[in-house]
Structures are given as C-alpha cells and as structure tokens.
A and B are shown apart, each in its own frame.
Chain A
Amino acid sequence: MEEAVQETWLAVIRGIHGFEGRAPLQSWIFSILVNQVRRLATREKRHARPADPPGPERSDTADRGVGADDEEEPGLGPAGRWKDPPVPWSLDDPESALLGGETLEVIEAALESLPEAQRQVVLLTDVEGLAADAVCNILGVSGTNQRVLLHRARTQIRRALGDYFTSGKSGARTRGRKEGGPSR
C-alpha cells in the first residue's frame, strides 16, 4: 500500500500538467491511486479475495430498487415478507453507541471482510464522502453497479452491527429487552 501511495504521488507530480481541472483534484488523485493499487495487485498476483461476480447491468432498476434480484435479507420469507424481522437494537443512546471505539472496530472489521469491489465503493462513497458520479469515474463502474455494490456493502455493515449490538458483547446499554444472541 505504501508503494502504491508513493507511486501515486509521483504520478501526480508527473501528470499535473495534463490535469485540466475537469474533475475535482481529489477525484483525479483517487483514480490514480486506484490504478496503482490495481497494477500492484496484478503484479504481485495477490488475489486474496475472490472477485465479485459482475454486477447486474439492467436499465429497469431505476424503479425496482437495486438488488431486487440479488442476495436478499436473510430474515425474509418466500412471500417477500419478514419471517424473522430485524431484532431492534434498543440502544439507549444510538449516537454514542455508534461512536464508541469498539463499534468503529466492528465496522472496520466488517469492511475488511467485504469483497473488494464492494469495499472500494463503500469506502469512497460513505467513508470518503465522494459523489456517486465521482465514484463511478474513479472505479470505472456504471451508476447502477455503484448503487448495487453500495447497498450490498451497507447491508453487510448493518448485519455486523446487529450481531454486535444484540449479542450482549457491546457495552451499550439496551432498554429492558433481553435478546438471546444474534438475530440469526
């Protein structure tokens, strides 16, 4: 990773005259970084994680919700209704529970276990706060794909948080209800 960062800065310095300011500087540098990481990963043949299957390329998703045909929530029954609805987290103070150091570690661990493409999209979109079209440009994915990958990644983070908050492992106090273990 350090090598990728060094190569990125060198490429930025070498390429700065070619940068025409059509995209924000931040997006441009990110896109160079992504390319450097990809190049190094290919060179080192480190395919630690299986690549995502190519995402759906549909034109009709705009009004059907991304992921309609994809992996769905595990608690849903055959009729498309909840069989095992999500267990409420019942946090006294969601804000401080969320910002606790341990909770952030849970989120970071869940990020680590995501497939590469999902992790890239959610890191740039939610963590770095880039606009969706900038993320599409940097990663070379379609808008539909960006939304599919983003939603999949977020649902994995939700599940990880749910397992943590309902397992009693979190120090966060819950309101009254005693839940018996994770929701699944």
Chain B
Amino acid sequence: MMNCREVTASGSDYLDRKVGPGRRLRIVLHLAMCAGCRAYMRQLRMAIRGLQSLRKPPAGESPVDEDLLSKFREANPRRDD
C-alpha cells in the first residue's frame, strides 16, 4: 500500500498522466481512503490551472510558422542565392 509521501511525490506525474497503470491504480486506491491526499491533489491541480491561466493569448491571429519564415527569409536574403 502506498503511503502519503509516495502519493504526494507522484502528484505531478499522476495529474499529467505520466504514471503507469499499476501505479495509477495504487494512487487511486489510496486517494479513495485518504482525505488529506485528496485535498492535496485537488490543490495541486488548482495550482496547475492557475499557472496555465497566466498564459498570454497570442495577439490576434499570428501568422503561421511558414508565413513568418518566408518573411524572415525575404528580409534577409541568402548571400549566395
């Protein structure tokens, strides 16, 4: 049986779905029985959501990579072209 230390140490991997099925099952079983770790996971998830909400939306529709690349290349023609 996993203890709270192992569950909290795996918190990010669990929320990012980077744990294998066996470990995932053991974490889920632990969470079902442990209110402290449930609160911890909820709060860690909220911390991640908060960080993601700092993401700045791109200013308008930015040109796709190819457009941007060709503009750079036009502005800076290769010497040996």
Contacts and interface: CB of A to CB of B under 8 A. Distances in A.
Interface in A44-81: 62-68, 70, 72-73, 75-76, 79-81
A155 interface: yes
Contacts of A64: 6, 9
A: interface residue count bin: 35 or more
A133 interface: no
Interface string A62-102: 11111110101101100111100111110000100011000
Interface string B28-57: 000000111101100110111111111100
A65 B10 contact: yes
Interface of B: 3-13, 18-20, 23, 34-37, 39-40, 43-44, 46-55, 65, 68-69, 72-73, 75-76, 78
B44 A154 contact: yes
A64 B27 CA distance: 12
Contacts of B11: 151, 154-155
A119 to B, nearest CB: 11
B13 A104 contact: no
A104 B73 CA distance: 39
A107 B52 CA distance: 11
Contacts, number: 129
Nearest to B78: A17
For B6, B18, B51, the residue with the greatest tally of chain A CB atoms inside 10 Å of its CB is B51
A126 B16 CA distance: 11
Contacts of B19: 65
A34 interface: no
Contacts of B6: 64-65, 68, 80
B50 A103 contact: yes
A177 interface: no
